[in-house]
Structure 1
Amino acid sequence: MRIVIDMQGAQTESRFRGIGRYSLSLAQAIARNAGNHEIYLALSGLFPETIGPIRQAFRGLVPQERIRVWQAPGPMRWIDAQNASRRAIAERVREAFLETLDPDLVLVTSLFEGLGDDAVISIGALGEPLPTAVILYDLIPLINPDEQYRTNPVYRGYYADRIENLKRARHLLAISDSARQEALGALPFAPEKVTNVSGACDEMFTRVVPDADSLATLKRRLGVTRPFIMYTGGADARKNLPRLIEAFAQLPDTSRQHHQLLFVGRMPQSEVSALRAHAQRAGLRADELLFSDYISDDELLALFSTCSLFVFPSLHEGFGLPPLEAMACGAVVIAADAASLPEVMGSPESLFDPQSVPSISAKMHQALTDEGLRARLLENARTQAQAFSWDRSAKLVLEAIAPFERPRESRAVRAVTFERTTLFEPKIKRILLLKLDHMGDLLLAVPAISRLRARYPKASIDVVVGSWNQALAQTLPFFDRVLTLDYFKRKSSLQAELSDGSLAEFVKELGFYDLAIDLRRQPDTRFVLAQVEAGLKVGYGCLNPAIDAKLDIALPTYQDLPFVETPLNRMSISEQMLALVDALPAHPSDYVVLPPIATPLQQHTRAVALFPYAGGDAKEWPVARFHELARRLAADSAVELVSVFFASEKEAQRFSFDGIEKVVIQAGLSIPELMRHLAGHQLCVANNSGGAHMAAYLGVTALGVYGGLETAHEWAPVFGNSYVLHNEAACSPCHIPARRDCPHNFFCLDDITVDEVFARCRELLAQNGGALPTAPSRPSIKSTRKKLFQALAPLVRQCNEDELSRVAQGIALSLPTRTRRALFVDVSELVSHDARTGIQRVVRSILSELLKDPPKDFEVWPVYATHDRTGYFYAKRLRSRFMGQGDPGSVQEDPIDFQAGDVFLGLDLNPYGIGVQEAFLDEMSRQGVRIQFVVYDLLCVQMPSYFAPGSEELFTKWLNTISRYDGVVCGSRTVSEEFTQWLHQHHPQRQDALEVGWFHYGADVQNSRPSTGMPSDAPRILKALRAAPSFLMVGTVEPRKGHAQALAAFEQLWQQGTAVNLVIVGKSGWLVEKLVARLRAHPELGKRLFWLESISDEYLDQVYGACSCLLAASEGEGFGLPLIEAGRKHLPILARDLPVFREVALDHAHYFHGTSGEALAQAVTHWLTLYRQGAHPKSEGMPTLTWEASVQQLLGSVLPTHQVIQAVTRMEVPAETE
């Protein structure tokens, strides 16, 4: 069942008292013992400071998306009559909010709240009350009204309203037998509707031995100078504190002179003053009665564990939690013989008459001086503390409310999962092959084409060849069409030509293909493939980023150079083409041919087959529901026939239809007869049985109704057009032999309603031809909103525009309308300005992948914030561009609409804007949005001297802020370790609460939205780079990057006559003015020193190919993306020995130490020696990820339930010549 717990009892001022502790502890215990029940927590947004702590208290017990927050404009408190209208509005908003959670039962932890605070709790304000159970603490004002109740009409009105709401509850959960008897005597509830669930104290209450220094400090603060007698609790009249003061005053001198009386806990100042005055009248000195005000839990434990005596003189308690807590801490405890306290105390020796000061005083003196009594009380305390437990109380609650579990057919259909399970459905239906070269090449392609035809047996394959190969191609038994395109001349490829116009016309006539492959390894025909419209384009790379970026799969290629052997020219042309076929994404239907096994006896256009039995009731949807489904299908004018199949006449006799028209019973058919009959239907509904699989194989749409005996993913029908309805049961697969063995009332199958199955039948029949109206859905958020608006109409007539706006905002936050969750991706810097930095490349790549392939059940939205406005906004224009839809123009970019279950990912580095948005992020977090940030590095705090003044302070503030939310994901394992260390030093209390993960970046540049364009002098520069060993540095010119050391090293090498080039790619950064001036005026600039600022990705790709070695001289990095890019190019690497570089490159790089030019010059010289000998570390085989795999890693941390499809991928990469 679904239990929604209203947690306002732990949100108001009650959270500082027993009611708050009871509310929180019982709710936690219910969550611990929930079993198969769904627990939701309902929190009021009017107590924002309590939401975070409650979320933290239930971490690991209740999924965060099930902790929901409702909002309404305050104030609400009863003591101000002007709040009545606002309170009435809030009551209806709250009840509508609860209704959208679809509870079996609402559990109210404390109904008697809201007199002096903003709590709002009602039952039935919106109409028919939701089934509600209420924790009942006591009925003291009703049974024993005090002076405040008798003389204060506001309080009487408030209490009368609470009692009327209480009477509308369906069940009361009393915290003691005393409270239960009060309810039965004063309220119109039958005995079976009031249950004693008792109570307990938190596990933290145990005897402690406090640190001597800490205890001395605490006592000095409280004024404790002698052994002390302790009381904790409230100060209202029923607590009987004046008599306790008088009893202390009447102690014999031997006891009184050696003790002080300490009242622990927050009390109103007016009560404190009155009690001090009463103590003075009783003859107490100022130092004999002490007050602590609020103290921490640790301090409370220390006082319980060290007090000489704990006294609880209350005249009336619903339970009496403080004496139980004191006993659990090993205190000697005495209490009033009144109401529930004897239940808690468990020993007559510990009780006194609370109405008699002499009785109280005598018991105090005896408990202080009689060692025998003290020993018995301590032993009793141990026994009583163990007799009460929150788990026991929680189980009593769950047992008491079990009857409220709704019949499964009345549960909302959204709890049931409906999914398509077809596996053997060919994804590739139209294939285009390009083979534009010579006759021998076409013959060598036959093995690859044969394997392709075998892999996609049902696909249509067209081939494009030169006209000279048309006759040969037509003799091959693979092609549906043979098309010709003369690009090469018949005898020579040196004169190849094809006009743009003729190519465009040819491609247009081809149309769209699911798959297009250029079988030629050489790059000269890849431009044709790039123009073809296809879902998947496959070929060898051609070392042209503009064309390679248009290929979905580009196998590594090598330039054909004289006297150079490569992995490809050591391989047969036929093997090269087979490699293209083998590189295609695998699918279960590959190579599968399903032979026909039956032809329909008669084809019906709208016939439904039913298989009610499955050979065992643990697999079977109730037969009565199949019966009802058959009736409803037969009554539908759009259904022509309903066939019900049974294995035998005996089985059919248990399934009577009383001659219902259109229903035909088929019993005892042979397998061939069964298949011929079944094949003529359009839809089959069956259990987890052979009927579902047979129907799917025969091409009949199959709808399986599955329980948790076995997992639907393992046993679902997989042929044709297959679907399954099932519940995601935590206890599946159970493999129980029969229904009676299920301890959970077989909810996994019984939860699936006839309404749900009938609605899905209509949808599936409509898919197969002819439009059918959609079956009406159950009451939804939409209908609840409509009911709420009708209820609010008379209440909001007097509201002004501002009040109406606040009401509307509360409704929007409380009753969200989106069914899919949102993944908000903060790209604020990218929206403002794409600086083309390494971080920006990561942001672009990840956003592109997320938009291309969003995680299941999420809609991905790039969002941004500005420095002058609060809140985040939809980046609609950016999203449109990234999704290839062009610029939408002046579209309105609205504030984001968030709700519980959404996820916010701070992908862009935006430390300047975080301060402005902190309050907004707090509100998102309170509402149940999971907030995560990507941390690329900690360099600003590790190397502050390398950054602009103020950077360290700004970055520290950013780190402090993001550490307050749900988690961070770091750009490498090294950074995650550095961040964890920083967290331990600055926020140790967050170490357990904050999730810290890491991921690695992708390396496929073509999927990072690369820029293009080549300057006019590019050929000259590339030629110069190839003329001598060239060392490439990629990254912004800034102090930590090591450019100054590199320049000094290469100047020394040049002076020594070493023929090497230094190539710097990156724009000028900060704090490098002198270095920049030196570079611009350097005599070797343009000769052996090259500084290429702000070049395109296309140009950079060619620079990588022209250089001999990547020089990674940076003194600090978060990842080292150039190393990955170098590895992809098979470019050797010389890197500073940093932990993160070793994490990324492993043993595929040569490492150096030292910060002087001389040290680096020696390292370069040593590397050149190894290079000439072929003994340098090779970057081939260096592990890299695609951006797709990188995003999967990232989502594994951002979305806790996300399955990482491809955690690590070793990507084969194109080679570059040296």
Structure 2
Amino acid sequence: MRIVIDMQGAQTESRYRGIGRYSLSHAQAIVRNRGEHEVVLVLNGQFVDTIEPIRAAFHNLLPQENIRVWYAPGPVRGCDPTNAVQRDAAELIREAFLASLQPDLIHLTSLFEGYGDDAVVSIGMFDQNTPVSVSLYDLIPLMNAEHYLRPNPLYEEFYFRKLESLKRASLLLAISESSRKEGVDHLGVSEDQVINVSTAAESCFESVEISCGEVLALRDKFHLLRPFVLYTGGADERKNLPRLLGAYASLPPDVREAHQLVFAGRMPQGAVDHLRSEAQRVGLGTDELVFTGYVSDDELLKLYNLCKVFAFPSWHEGFGLPALEAMACGAAVIAADTSSLPEVVGCSDGLFDPFDSQALCGKLTRVLVDEDFRASLKSHGLVQASKFTWDRSARETIAAFEHFLHKNGKSAAHPDFHARQSDLVDRIAEFCDGGIRQPELVEFSKAISRISMGDEKRQLFVDISELAQRDARTGIQRVTRSILKELLDNPPHGFSVQAVYATVDGQGYRYARAFCNRFRNDAQTCEGDDPIDYQAGDIFLGLDLQHHVVCAQQTFLDAIRRDGVQVVFVVYDLLPILMPHVFPPGADSGHKAWLGVLAGFDGALCISRAVAMELDVWLRENGPHRMRPFEIGWFHLGADVESSIPTLGLPDDAPRILAELSARPTFLTVGTVEPRKGQSQALAAFDLLWAEGIDANFVIVGKQGWMVERLIERIRVHPELGKRLYWLEGISDEYLERIYQSSTCLIAASEGEGYGLPLIEAAQHKRPIIVRDIPVFREVAGTHAYYFNGSTAEDLAAAVREWLRLYHAGRHPVSNNMLRLTWKESAEQLKRALLSLRLGAEPVVQGVARV
């Protein structure tokens, strides 16, 4: 059974009230108890700020692609009659979206939404095929129309429209037996159509020890001077608060003087002013009645635990959750003997007639002065509260769904989606005559285009924004080319791989189809580089390194993440931040800005364990507050150049140079010429070695980088240049292969790296390695390299001398058996790590840290 749950009850202003708490907790419990059933949650995209909190609430409970977002342009709120046509169109779009998910049953967490906001909830306006269940909290406005409907004809019209929709529901899930009876008695539905699934208090509400410091802080914040009677909840008429004030004022003077009355929680200012005036009228002093204003759940927990009694005088409740929360915290609870409260409290001694002020005063007096009576209520409350659990409520709910579908048969086969979509377009087009203008119709068309069958193959978007513009032939570009090729050739199971790119000039990514045709030497005419289409369950992988593009596209990436696309970036290193002195001014701030942006998404795949650990530390110290954890995985790079779409071509003097390299021991360093790479130290070391008469070549392969002007000048005027010193700038991968083959040993003197790809390339050619002793080189080379320390020319020269001694004796470390990957194997590691992040599980090969 596929259950689709409309979560708007947890998105609107209701999220601050009992309905929102119920909607979220009930849905979580359904997901926990779903068994073999599939659950899909649906969110209204108009409530942007609520999407991430709800996604976070279901982290590790439900795959994120099972949380779907639909859109319809607003405004549609019912309090403005001019929105009627747009609201009707939005109802069609929402129902069409839900139908496209092919549910066996749709559950609405709250039907009576959308009067003061842009919630859209309806039944049977477009889809008359799928059974719908609705949470039934109460029918208080209907049963007390003179208080809740008659004074506001516009809301009355809205309410009765919702009632008609409610009558089209297949099932009503009542939150209490009292609410169930209201549904049967006042809606004209059959007994078996309304099921009591009850409710529960959150697990955070429990009896706890509160320290003296916490007690003092709470008393100081809320001006609690004496033991207190507590109430929390709304302030509308049915809550009966004026009678509570009158009853409290009638307490025996000595009892009253020893206590305070506390109204906890946010109340409308008008209601607060009215209650203050009523308190003054019945003779309460200014310090006898306390309004706390907003309280956090933690503060409410403490107030429940500290109060001498919790009083709940409401004469009509759908359930009465505050009474249950107070009992769960060990409070003595007294409540009105009406509607649902007797079944919640479960003890006649704790009940009173809410319309009899003397009865309320007498019950309040007894519980405040009679310690045995108070203790019995506290003891009973803990036992009674334990009978209400969310898991029990969820199991009752799922059983009701199963019974309904078994009795009535699963919903008929869903009509052809494209026919339904055509019908939807036609019906919305009719609204042109009803007041929707052409620009608004365009927005509705965009909303319709977001509706899909959901059975398309998921896409793995691979960002190649730098490579698509230019191949800078750096190490990162080599990684990008190599991984992209392997992903295109061997996509992850269930995914199609799509190379994409963006620029800083506009929002959104495009398919890099023209580039891919050139990349794969495909002469076929391709479609244009259209904007990407995406759906929940897709993955965006930031493979290329393009700081400015990612920062410019943050808004777009935020949007696709809200819609259920997982956004993950490859992190090559943190060197501009960790070693700012060897980078151009501002490089660290640019890198920090980039990391700050990606830290707001789902995770990172680092090219080594060392980088993963550095990123973990940096995020713990600098990362933003998150609702879901940021997950960090790692993989290792490949080295088979032939699989990396190598660049080709040899210069005219290549044969001569290769012969000269083969003629004597040749030490090679590979990488952009920049301060951290250690080429300056290496050249100074060879100056010493040459002066000693050691006949060896030193070859630098790499383009000129930054902050190395003096080194470049030294190289250009060096007397050994072209004799035993060679600088090969921007050479092709083909030529680099030949250089490796003609060299004796690789020197990696870099002070900091993300990985150290030249080490792998050297091992691929079975060339020995001399490396600086840094963690990432230990990770990559293990025992298969000769390590050195120190930053002077003599330090490295001594290492080369010792290595030559070992080499001539045949005792130098060899790289032949060093663990190295092909690019295919590297891509497989990346795919496993990526899909492990997506599933929220530990990767098979790589480690994950959750920040």
TM-score interval, smaller chain: over 0.9
Structure 1 segment 1102-1117 matched on structure 2, within 5 A: 1102-1117=738-753
Correspondence 1:999 to 2:625: no
2:677 aligns with 1041
Aligned counterparts of 1:1085 and 1:899: Cα–Cα separation in 2: 57
Structure 1 distance, partners of 2:162, 2:616, is 50
Work out whether 1:1122 is the aligned partner of 2:747.
Answer: no
Tell whether 2:344 aligns with 1:344: yes
- SS across alignment from 2:117: coil
Query: Against the structure 1 CA distance between its residues 212 and 804, is the aligned structure 2 distance closer, same or farther, given a 3 Å change threshold?
Result: farther
1:829 positional shift:
1.2
Shift of residue 299, structure 1, vs aligned partner: 2.6
1:868-947 mapped onto 2 (5 Å cutoff): 868-886=505-523, 892-947=528-583
Match of 2:737 in 1: 1101
Q: Which amino acid aligns with 2:495?
A: F
Counterpart CA distance in 2 for 1:1029 and 1:288 is 93
**Distance (whole Å) between structure 2 residues aligned to residue 1135 and residue 412 of structure 1:** 69
Match of 1:985 in 2: 621
Q: Are residue 1197 (structure 1) and residue 833 (structure 2) matched?
A: yes
Q: Structure 1 CA distance, aligned partners of 2:730 and 2:440?
A: 53
2:147 partner amino acid: E
Q: TM-score, normalised by structure 1?
A: 0.67
Structure 2 residue aligned with 1:98: 98
By how many angstroms is 1:287 displaced?
A: 3.9
Name 2:709's counterpart in structure 1: 1073
- Please state if 1:1052 is matched with 2:688: yes
Correspondence for 2:172: 172
Please tell me the root mean square deviation across aligned C-alpha atoms, in Å.
Answer: 2.5
Deviation at 1:1021, TM superposition (A): 2.1
CA separation of 1:1114 and 1:262: change in aligned 2, threshold 3 A: farther
Change (3 A) 1:880 1:375: same
Change (3 A) 1:983 1:183: same
**TM-score normalised by L of structure 2:** 0.95
CA gap 1:884/1:894 in 2 versus in 1, 3 angstroms: same
> Counterparts of 2:440 and 2:158 in 1: how far apart (Å)?
24
**Aligned counterpart for 2:495 among listed residues 854, 858, 861:** 858
CA separation in 1, counterparts of 2:412 and 2:713?
71
- The residue aligned with 1:19 is 19
Partner SS state of residue 114, structure 2 = coil
Distance in 2 separating the partners of 1:1063 and 1:253: 97
Residues in 2 aligned to 1:1120 and 1:221: alpha-carbon distance in whole angstroms:
57
Confirm or deny that 1:314 pairs with 2:341: no
Q: Which residue of 1 aligns with 2:459?
A: 822
After alignment, is 1147-1156 or 146-155 more displaced? 146-155
Q: Deviations over 1:333-383 (max 9, x none)?
A: 222221101111111222222223333333233323321112111111210
Letter in 2 for 1:921: L
Match of 1:1154, SS state, is: coil
Identity, % of aligned positions: 53
Counterpart secondary structure, 2:553: helix
Question: Does residue 1:794 correspond to 2:434, yes or no?
Answer: no
The one of 686, 705, 721 equivalent to 1:1085 is: 721
Q: Are the aligned partners of 1:1189 and 1:1207 in contact in 2 as well (CA < 8 Å)? A: no
> CA 1:1060 to 1:991, structure 2 compared with 1: closer, same or farther past 3 Å?
farther
Paired AA for residue 312 in structure 2 = F
- Whether the 8 Å contact between 1:126 and 1:791 is mirrored in structure 2 is no
Residue of structure 2 in register with 1:1168 after alignment: 804
- The worse-fitting range, judged by mean Cα deviation, of 144-153 and 210-219 is 210-219
**Against the structure 1 CA distance between its residues 926 and 1181, is the aligned structure 2 distance closer, same or farther, given a 3 Å change threshold?**
same
Shift of residue 1012, structure 1, vs aligned partner? 0.9
Structure 1 103/1171 Cα, relative in aligned 2: closer, same or farther at 3 Å?
same
Residue 849 of structure 2 corresponds to: none
Q: 1:1012 aligns to what? A: 648
Q: Distance in 2 between matches of 1:1018 and 1:98?
A: 66
Q: Distance in 1 between matches of 2:725 and 2:536?
A: 56
Deviations 1:1118-1148 (A, max 9, x none): 1111111111000101111111111111111
Asked if structure 1 preserves the Cα contact closer than 8 Å seen for 2:141 and 2:147, the reply is no
Q: Secondary structure at the match of 1:795?
A: helix
Supply the AA of the counterpart residue of 1:306.
Answer: L
Does structure 2 conserve the Cα–Cα contact (< 8 Å) formed by 1:1196 and 1:1203?
A: no
CA shift at 1:146, angstroms? Answer: 4.3
- Please list the CA deviations of residues 283-311 of structure 1 after superposition, one character each: whole Å capped at 9, or x if unmatched: 33444433333333223222222233222
Check conservation: 2:129, 2:411, Cα contact below 8 A: no
- The gaps in structure 2 that reach 5 residues or longer are 847-851
Q: What is the CA-CA distance between 1:237 and the residue it aligns to?
A: 1.7
**Which amino acid letter does the alignment assign opposite residue 864 of structure 1?**
Y
1:886 shift after superposition: 4.2
CA contact (8 A) 1:51 1:926 kept: yes
Alignment check: 8 A CA contact 1:983 1:990 kept? no
Alignment map for 1:206-285 (pairs within 5 Å): 206-210=206-210, 212-213=212-213, 216-285=216-285
**Corresponding residue for residue 1134 of structure 1:** 770
Q: 1:252 to 1:1143 in 2, by over 3 A?
A: same
What residue in structure 2 maps to residue 1182 of structure 1? 818
Which moved further from structure 2: 1124-1133 or 352-361? Answer: 352-361
CA contact (8 A) 1:861 1:879 kept: no
Change in CA separation of 1:286 and 1:110 when aligned onto 2, cut-off 3 Å: same
Contact 1:1189–1:1208 (CA under 8 A) maintained in structure 2: no
Take 2:67 and 2:840, find their aligned partners in 1: how far apart are those partners? Answer: 23
Match of residue 141 from structure 1? 141
Letter in 1 for 2:121: I
CA contact (8 A) 2:461 2:499 kept: yes
Match of 2:504 among 867, 883, 887: 867
| Code of the aligned partner of 1:863 | V
- Which structure's residues are more often helix, by fraction? 2
CA apart distance, 1:990? 4.8
CA-to-aligned-CA distance 1:1010-1055 (integer Å, 9 cap, x gap): 1111112222222222233222111111222112222222222222
Paired residue for 1:357? Answer: 357
**SS where residue 954 of structure 1 aligns?**
helix
Q: Distance in 2 between matches of 1:110 and 1:249?
A: 38
- Deviations for 1:1073-1101, whole angstroms, at most 9, x for unmatched residues? 33223332333322222211111111111
Distance 2:774 2:695 in 1: 28
Unpaired segments of 5 or more residues in structure 1?
Answer: 414-777, 1210-1218
Describe the SS at the equivalent of 1:1053: helix
3-state SS of 2:150 partner: helix
Corresponding residue for 1:371? 371
- In 1, are the aligned partners of 2:86 and 2:436 still within 8 Å (CA)? no
Query: Partner letter of residue 485 of structure 2?
Result: S
Q: 1:213 to 1:781 in 2, by over 3 A?
A: farther
Q: What does residue 298 of structure 2 align with?
A: 298
Deviation at 1:961, TM superposition (A): 2.3
For 1:364 and 1:910, how far apart are their aligned partners in 2?
Answer: 68
Paired letter, 1:826: D
Show the counterpart of 1:958. Answer: 594
Question: What's the CA shift for 1:1202?
Answer: 9.1
Q: Compared with structure 1, are the counterparts of its residues 386 and 1075 closer, same or farther at alpha carbon in structure 2 (3 Å cutoff)?
A: same
* Whole-Å separation in 2 of the counterparts to 1:1184 and 1:833: 29
For the pair 1:810 / 2:447, whether they are aligned, the reply is yes
Aligned position for 1:832 = 469
How far did 1:184 drift? 1.0
Residue type of the alignment partner of 2:333: V
Q: Provide the secondary structure at the position in 2 that maps to 1:793.
A: helix
- Per the alignment, residue 698 of structure 2 pairs with 1062
Deviations 1:220-270 (A, max 9, x none): 333434433322222222122222233333333434334333322232333
Distance 2:678 2:14 in 1: 60
Q: Is the 8 A contact 1:77 1:118 kept in 2?
A: yes
Three-state SS of the structure 1 residue aligned to 2:430 is coil
Instruction: Say whether the 8 Å CA contact 1:123–1:130 is kept in structure 2.
Output: no
Q: Which residue of 2 aligns with 1:110?
A: 110
The number of equivalent residue pairs is 843
| Cα distance in structure 1, aligned partners of 2:315 and 2:387 | 23
Q: Is the 8 A contact 2:602 2:630 kept in 1?
A: yes
